Every structure is written in C-alpha cells, then in structure tokens.
Amino acid sequence: MKKLTLLIVASVGVVGLLGLYNMVNSSVANAATTANSKLSQTINPGVLSTDIRDSTNSLVNNPTFAMGATTVSSSLGSGTGVFGDNDNRIYVENPGAADNGWTLTLNVVTPGTGVWSAGGGKQYKYNGTINEGRLTVNPSGGTVTPVIGAAAGITKGASTTFSGTSPVTLMSASATASKIWAGYITNTSLAQTIPAGQAAGTYVLPMVQTITAL
C-alpha cells in the first residue's frame, strides 16, 4: 500500500492532488469570488402639521395680525385686515400622512363663547348679528404657494362669516393632490363689524388654525 501511494503522488503531481482533494471536499470546489446581498431602508410617513412661518421658513411664535384702526362711532362701524402675509405665512406640511386629502380651518380658541376683549371688561362678538359684531374671513382672494408638490388639487376656502361654533375653511386638498405637499396661504382678507358706540381700546381675539386629514 505504501508503494502504491508513492506512485500516485509521483504521477499526478501537486495539481493532481489538489484536484483529488477538491473532489472529496465540495465546499472548496464550489467557492465563489462574489456574494450577493441587499440593503433595506424604511421611510415612514411624517406628521400632518400646520404653523405660521416667516419668509426664511422659520417658525413665528405668538404672531399677531392687526386689523385696521377705527374710531368710536355712534353708528355701526367696521374694520378690515389680512390673515397671513409674507412674514406670517399660514403653512401646511403633509409628508405622506394624509393620502386622501386634508382641510385647514380657522376658529377662535373658545368657539362660540370667545369675544373681542380689551381691558376693563370691554368686549364685542365675532359671531353675532351684524349689529352685535361679526367676523367674515375670505380666503378666496388669497394666494396659495406650494413649496413641495403641485398646486393641483389644492382649493382655497370661500368667504365665510363666523356663526355659532363653526370654523372657517382656509384651504383644502383633495385625494388627487400631491401626497407629499408643503406650502402656505397668504392674504386672506378679514372684515369685522363693530357695534355702534363701542368703547375705545385695543381688542384681542385669540384664534387657532387646525389641519385635519380626510
């Protein structure tokens, strides 16, 4: 047996021996020079949100929109203003969170019971009769500016007078709108009737805007 083994080594050489070794060790024979793999990355939808931003896209804290000043009068008065300008943009961001659309509304912080108020208990209504005081919001003449996504499917709200506890729609997106969308509305007009004989003062009406997925 020993002589037979030596004869085999002499006849096949080192290469032959490696071939014989590979025949009985398939793991070596099938070794590859490449190996396949894949990477996985999950991107989750963000949060539907609204805020007020300036022209540099920075958040504006505690913004105030001043109505035009008026004078005490013995007859029914009125005041006008604008909700949202270039330094106070009414901003919406939908990072894939509302594929069926969304609605942006405006209301007072305490719907129905809120009032224009000044020091000394002076006040008047935002949702009363024309003589008690009522506020009309008209986004239809405003400007919607997309930052991400298209203008298609985005609709401005109609002129609406506050009544009861109901909010006013500023703008909305349908299911056909861009699923990833960000942008803002500016130049929504405001008109408020002021009761006859309303006392002088700086009156404030706290407001809140709300974004809701459809």
Mean pLDDT for all residues in the chain: 90
Residue 88 has pLDDT above 60, yes or no: yes
Please state, in angstroms and rounded to a whole number, the distance separating the CA atoms of residues 54 and 114. Answer: 27
CA neighbor of 51 nearest in space, from 18, 7, 89, 101: 89
**Alpha-carbon span 105 to 120, nearest angstrom:** 31
The per-residue pLDDT for 147 is: 98
- Provide the pLDDT for residue 31: 77
Is a pLDDT exceeding 50 seen at residue 18? no
User: Which domains occur in the chain, in start order?
Assistant: 1-30 (no CATH), 49-213 (2.60.40)
Whether the predicted pLDDT of 189 surpasses 90: yes
**How far is it, in rounded angstroms, from Cα 114 to Cα 146?**
33
> How many residues are listed for the chain in this entry?
214
Whether 11 shows a pLDDT value over 50: the answer reads: no
